[in-house]
């Protein structure tokens, strides 16, 4: 009999909008929490129409963005600008375990439903405020979005091309790491405190501060007074060594080489027929960002570019060398790592081949995967209807 969800019975009020807060409460819902999303009357959460497709607009339904980050939640409308609406929230908070909001600091207090007001009706309530720059301090009232938080935190500077130009990633680091994940972590810690008999508490999550705290490798470079490591291609993890780098393939795709440890690098060198490179590694004295590292990176790039991506997947995926294809989001959605249907199809195929071998014990055993070593079975070209070909 399966165990119940870890947060089964936990009652969460979600007053957040857009991305960070809804993802935080989504993660709580995925662990079994009962999340009630509270939106204002009228248009509600702006995420309902953000990135909304024409099909969803015609069907008069919220877009995929809203549905994705709010799945598994109950919904209601409450107007906190009215006395009756505030009374509803107070009644809900009386029986809740957690409340999460993402207004600018001071908004909930001005409405009369801030932490101090809510703790009077429920001293055990864990109240989490997700803000851009914290609930106090000189930037508390400043507006912002993910791009602003990572810019201030020194993170965007570290996402740069070789010429130093910042790269705007289509992955919201501050919103998701600094906001959602930090909120979940601190909420669970506060709940542990309550579970041991303590009172609820105010959890202040600043997306900018959390992003800054997670900029670990840059902080290492600062502590070491190593300015070069902060530049693209100058550090261990940003392109300064051939064993941890990105390489273009013959078909214009990319291969991610993460052979950071010597054993993985030596395995890779052997697999590509360059055992003479095995000792040219940062752990054996190769200068990070130095001339030999740059020269060897160019040599390895020439080899990688001589074959297409699928060839490298077939050759390297199954061996211990930490090499991976750079997949598109569509390819990732069809990969057996993330697609249960595809994984099951591969497992069924392997089981059928195994049964065939066992049914003919005197026949010469054939490998479960023809044409090379066993891999995940992934092929970069699109699989029709998400099925492996």
Give tens-digit pLDDT for 184-199.
Answer: 999 999 999 999 999 9
What does pLDDT average to over the chain? 93
Q: Per-residue confidence at 383, pLDDT binned at 50, 70, 90? A: very low
Q: What is the pLDDT of residue 355?
A: 86
Q: What is the pLDDT of residue 356?
A: 86
The answer to whether 100 touches 170, Cβ cutoff 8 Å, is no
- Does an H or E element contain 88, and which? helix 83-94
**Superfamily of segment(s) 11-213:** Crotonobetainyl-coa:carnitine coa-transferase; domain 1 (3.40.50.10540)
Q: Which CATH fold topology does 244-326 show?
A: formyl-coa transferase, domain 3 (3.30.1540)
Q: What is the pLDDT of residue 342?
A: 87
Q: pLDDT tens digit string along 32-73?
A: 999 999 999 999 999 999 999 999 999 999 999 999 999 999
- Which residues of the chain form beta strands (DSSP E)? 11-14, 34-39, 74-77, 98-101, 126-131, 202-206, 244-248, 254-258, 323-325
The whole-number average pLDDT for the span 126-145 is: 97
Question: CATH 3.40.50.10540 occupies which residues in the chain?
Answer: 11-213
Opening angle at CA 172, ends 171 and 178, nearest 5: 135
Residue 263 pLDDT greater than 70, yes or no: yes
Q: What is the pLDDT of residue 282?
A: 98
Residues marked active site are found at 145, 175
Q: pLDDT tens digit string along 63-98?
A: 999 999 999 999 999 999 999 999 999 999 999 999
Q: What is the pLDDT of residue 324?
A: 98
DSSP 8-state secondary structure symbol assigned to residue 279: T
Residue 103 pLDDT greater than 60, yes or no: yes
- How many whole angstroms separate alpha carbon 103 and alpha carbon 85? 17
Q: pLDDT tens digit string along 321-369?
A: 999 999 999 999 999 999 989 889 888 888 888 888 888 765 554 444 4
Residue (of 157, 172, 288) closest to 219 by Cα position: 157
- How many whole angstroms separate alpha carbon 7 and alpha carbon 11? 9
Residue (of 154, 162, 104) closest to 133 by Cα position: 104
179-195 as b/e, with b when 16 or more CB fall inside 10 Å? Answer: bbbbbbebbbebbeebe
- How many whole angstroms separate alpha carbon 223 and alpha carbon 355? 58
Q: How far is CA 11 from the centre of its chain?
A: 25
Question: CATH 3.30.1540.10 occupies which residues in the chain?
Answer: 244-326
Opening angle at CA 48, ends 42 and 51, nearest 5: 140
Query: Could you tell me the CA-to-CA distances from 127 to 51, 93, 232, 355 in Å, in that order?
Result: 30, 10, 41, 56
């Amino acid at each position: 009999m399966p165990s119940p969800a870890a947060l089964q019975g936990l009652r969460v009020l979600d007053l957040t909008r857009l991305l960070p807060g809804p993802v935080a409460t989504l993660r709580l819902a995925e662990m079994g929490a009962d999340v009630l999303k509270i939106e204002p009357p009228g248009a509600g959460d702006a995420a309902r129409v953000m990135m909304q497709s024409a099909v969803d607009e015609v069907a008069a339904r919220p877009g995929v963005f809203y549905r994705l980050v709010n799945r598994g939640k109950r919904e209601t409308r409450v107007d906190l600008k009215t006395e009756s609406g505030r009374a509803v929230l107070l009644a809900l908070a009386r029986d809740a375990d957690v409340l999460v909001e993402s207004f600018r600091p001071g908004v909930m207090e001005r409405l009369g439903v801030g932490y101090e007001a809510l703790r009077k009706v429920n001293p055990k309530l864990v109240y989490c405020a997700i803000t851009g720059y914290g609930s106090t301090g000189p930037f508390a009232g400043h507006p912002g979005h993910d791009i602003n938080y990572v810019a201030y935190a020194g993170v965007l500077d570290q996402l740069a091309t070789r010429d130093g130009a910042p790269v705007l990633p289509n992955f919201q680091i501050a919103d998701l790491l600094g906001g959602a994940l930090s909120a979940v972590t601190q909420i669970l810690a506060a709940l542990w405190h309550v579970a041991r008999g303590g009172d609820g508490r105010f959890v202040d999550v600043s997306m900018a501060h959390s992003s800054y705290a997670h900029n670990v490798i840059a902080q290492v470079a600062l502590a070491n007074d190593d300015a070069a490591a902060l530049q693209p291609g100058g550090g261990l993890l940003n392109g300064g060594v051939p064993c941890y780098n990105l390489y273009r393939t013959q078909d214009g795709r990319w291969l991610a080489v993460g052979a950071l440890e010597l054993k993985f690098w030596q395995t890779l060198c052997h697999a590509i027929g360059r055992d003479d490179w095995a000792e040219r590694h940062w752990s054996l004295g190769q200068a990070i960002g130095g001339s030999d590292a740059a020269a060897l990176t160019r040599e390895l790039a020439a080899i990688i570019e001589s074959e297409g991506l699928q060839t490298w997947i077939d050759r390297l995926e199954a061996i211990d060398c930490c090499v991976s294809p750079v997949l598109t989001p569509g390819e990732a959605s069809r990969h057996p790592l993330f697609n249960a249907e595809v994984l099951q199809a591969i497992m069924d195929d392997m089981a059928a081949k195994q049964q065939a071998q066992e049914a003919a014990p005197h026949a010469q055993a054939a490998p479960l995967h023809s044409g090379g070593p066993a891999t995940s079975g992934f092929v970069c070209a699109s699989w029709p209807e998400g099925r492996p070909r």
